Amino acid sequence: MKGIVFTEFLDLVEEKFGLEMVDRIISSSELESEGVYTSVGTYSFSEMLQLLQHLSENTGISIDNLLLVYAEHFFSVIEKSYPGLLATYKDPIEMISSIENHIHVEVRKIYPDAELPTFEVIEKTENSLIMDYTSSRAMHHFGLGLMNKTFEHFNATATIALEKIKEDGTQVRFIIHKN
């Protein structure tokens, strides 16, 4: 997992819960990196999982909800860092259905070692989209947060339902209806 995902995460934890919480979740985790992240580095996903688990234990907020809020923050990082990529799109359904074949393809050109999920479009109309998420990282709520913000970015709203295809969340169906 890319360093930028860690640095932005810890910035948000500091902003919402304070530096003591950052220290606490780092020191209670067993981290090969010792909690020192640079935005251009690459670190093990198990480090992110430990940080999320300890933040969840300390705040009582579920990992899914932490990932949702974090993704909504991460979207503003994307807006700032990759304005050109977003400007390619005029419509949220078009953008979300293009993650697999365009957006994450571009991401991989920038970060060849990025750990990205797979999104398969099952059904697409002008105002709806059914898409299956697959990833060993089970970060579907990170996807949900990015989708929410994608609609907001285009001044639109949507109803998004998640159906777990696999109980452990490594495969999830997103059913999206633009309002």
**Sites of contact with ligand HEM (CB under 6 A):** 1-2, 5, 78, 82, 85-86, 96, 99, 103-104, 107, 114-117, 135, 137, 139, 142-143, 146-147, 150
Instruction: Give the nearest distance from C-beta 111 to ligand HEM in angstroms.
Output: 6
Any residues with CB less than 8 A from the CB of 166 and at least 6 apart, and which? 172
Instruction: Give the nearest distance from C-beta 92 to ligand HEM in angstroms.
Output: 9
How many CB atoms are closer than 10 A to CB 66?
A: 22
Q: Considering the complex, state which of residue 21 and residue 116 has its C-beta at the smaller distance from ligand HEM.
A: 116
Nearest in space to 154 (alpha carbons), one of 106, 82, 89: 89
Instruction: Give the nearest distance from C-beta 126 to ligand HEM in angstroms.
Output: 18
Q: Considering the complex, state which of residue 24 and residue 72 has its C-beta at the smaller distance from ligand HEM.
A: 72
Determine the Cα–Cα distance for residues 158 and 79; give it in Å rounded to an integer. 20
Q: Considering the complex, state which of residue 56 and residue 134 has its C-beta at the smaller distance from ligand HEM.
A: 134
Instruction: Give the nearest distance from C-beta 110 to ligand HEM in angstroms.
Output: 8
Q: Considering the complex, state which of residue 60 and residue 112 has its C-beta at the smaller distance from ligand HEM.
A: 112
Q: Considering the complex, state which of residue 55 and residue 169 has its C-beta at the smaller distance from ligand HEM.
A: 169
Q: Are 85 and 105 in contact (CB under 8 A)?
A: no
Instruction: Give the nearest distance from C-beta 18 to ligand HEM in angstroms.
Output: 25
Instruction: Extract the tokens encoding 55.
Output: 């933040």
What are the Cα distances from residue 23, in Å, to 13, 29, 88, 142, 156? 10, 10, 40, 23, 38
Q: Are 93 and 124 in contact (CB under 8 A)?
A: yes
